[in-house]
Structure 1
Amino acid sequence: MVSTSDYSQTVESWQQILAPYSMGYRIKLLSQLLSRKFTEKLEPFGLTPFHWLILCCLWQEDGLPTSSIGDKLKQVGGTLTGVLDRMEERSLVRRERDSHDRRIWRIWLTDAGKELETVLPPISAELRDQAMQGISLAERELFSQLLNQAITNLS
């Protein structure tokens, strides 16, 4: 038989894993809030946060194979293909077959996609700064490292 005091201690220790106090719930809430705010900021450009992620990949390395973008973003092909279709329709990217392996499609930024690199990162930085108000640079770095470690632990 479990004593009342043992039961109370167990319930108390669970408080940190139960919503709305759990780390997972709070990370999900933070993600939703950031996504909602970022979606609002991207709306005038006709973009979504997923477009932003693809653009970021290509700003870092233009001409990536579709599979590499999917790997970097942990996305399945069908989802990525549809988003790339819409980005191509909007003349943000173009697709070309790889000259050495015709099975591979490479994704290249158009001039319009390249121009967004001067416009969108400051918008993202402004939102990040808003979210991180009152948090020192050292704490931000530690937070980023801890998130990376948790992601690695679960991957």
Structure 2
Amino acid sequence: MPTPSAEQKLSRGWQEVLAPHGMGYRIKLLSQLLARKFQERLEPYGLTPFHWVVLCCLWQEDGLATSSIGEKLQQVGGTLTGVLDRMEQRGLVRRERDTRDRRVWRIWLTDAGKELKFVLPPIAVELREEAFQGISDTQRQQLSEMLDLAIANLS
């Protein structure tokens, strides 16, 4: 049986990881809240946050291989394939076989997908500003760097 002082130390250490006080829980909660609010804003366009991240990849580099998109987003193929199917049906992307390697499918934005680059980012900026009001640019940058480091530590 632990001594009272050992139990108190253990209890204090646990308080930092137990929900709802744990950092992981709060990061998850923030992620869920942001996703929900973003979904509401994307709904009029018939899009989801997953469509958004795929579009972001293609706005930065059109014609990516499906596998490259999956790697960038750390997504499994089956999930990404279904999203790309729906995006293709909506006329946002088109798929073409790679001319050098017929096993590879490249994803290209259509005009409709390209036009969303002028519509959706301002919506994302507005949500970011809403979520991070009262947090300085320096603090935002520090938070971003800390999150990148934590992700890299676990990847």
Relative to the length of structure 2, the TM-score reads 0.98
- Using the TM superposition, give the Cα deviation of residue 103 of structure 1 relative to its aligned residue in structure 2, in angstroms: 0.8
- Using the TM superposition, give the Cα deviation of residue 8 of structure 1 relative to its aligned residue in structure 2, in angstroms: 1.7
Could you list the per-position Cα deviations for residues 57-81 of structure 1 after superposition, in whole angstroms to 9, with x for gaps in the alignment? 0000000000000000001111111
Q: Which residue of 2 aligns with 1:126?
A: 126
- Using the TM superposition, give the Cα deviation of residue 14 of structure 1 relative to its aligned residue in structure 2, in angstroms: 1.2
Residues 56-95 of structure 1 mapped to structure 2, 5 A cutoff:
56-95=56-95
- Using the TM superposition, give the Cα deviation of residue 13 of structure 1 relative to its aligned residue in structure 2, in angstroms: 2.1
Q: Which residue of 1 aligns with 2:23?
A: 23
Aligned residues: percent identity?
70
Count of aligned residue pairs for this structure pair: 155
Gaps in structure 2 of 5+ consecutive residues:
none
Q: Which residue of 2 aligns with 1:102?
A: 102
- Using the TM superposition, give the Cα deviation of residue 6 of structure 1 relative to its aligned residue in structure 2, in angstroms: 2.4
2:119 alignment partner, SS class: helix
Report the aligned-residue RMSD.
0.7
Residues 132-147 of structure 1 mapped to structure 2, 5 A cutoff:
132-147=132-147
- Using the TM superposition, give the Cα deviation of residue 12 of structure 1 relative to its aligned residue in structure 2, in angstroms: 1.7
One-letter code of the match for 1:40?
A: E
Gaps in structure 1 of 5+ consecutive residues:
none
2:2 alignment partner, SS class: coil
Q: Which residue of 1 aligns with 2:54?
A: 54
Task: Confirm or deny that 1:149 pairs with 2:145.
Answer: no
2:19 alignment partner, SS class: coil
1:121 alignment partner, SS class: helix
Distance in 1, matches of 2:142 and 2:12, equals 28
Distance in 2, matches of 1:71 and 1:9, equals 42
Could you list the per-position Cα deviations for residues 84-121 of structure 1 after superposition, in whole angstroms to 9, with x for gaps in the alignment? 00000000000011111111110000000000000000
Distance in 1, matches of 2:68 and 2:131, equals 30
1:133 alignment partner, SS class: coil
1:47 alignment partner, SS class: coil
Task: Confirm or deny that 1:3 pairs with 2:13.
Answer: no
One-letter code of the match for 1:120?
A: L
Moved over 6 A (4+): none
2:127 alignment partner, SS class: helix
2:107 alignment partner, SS class: strand
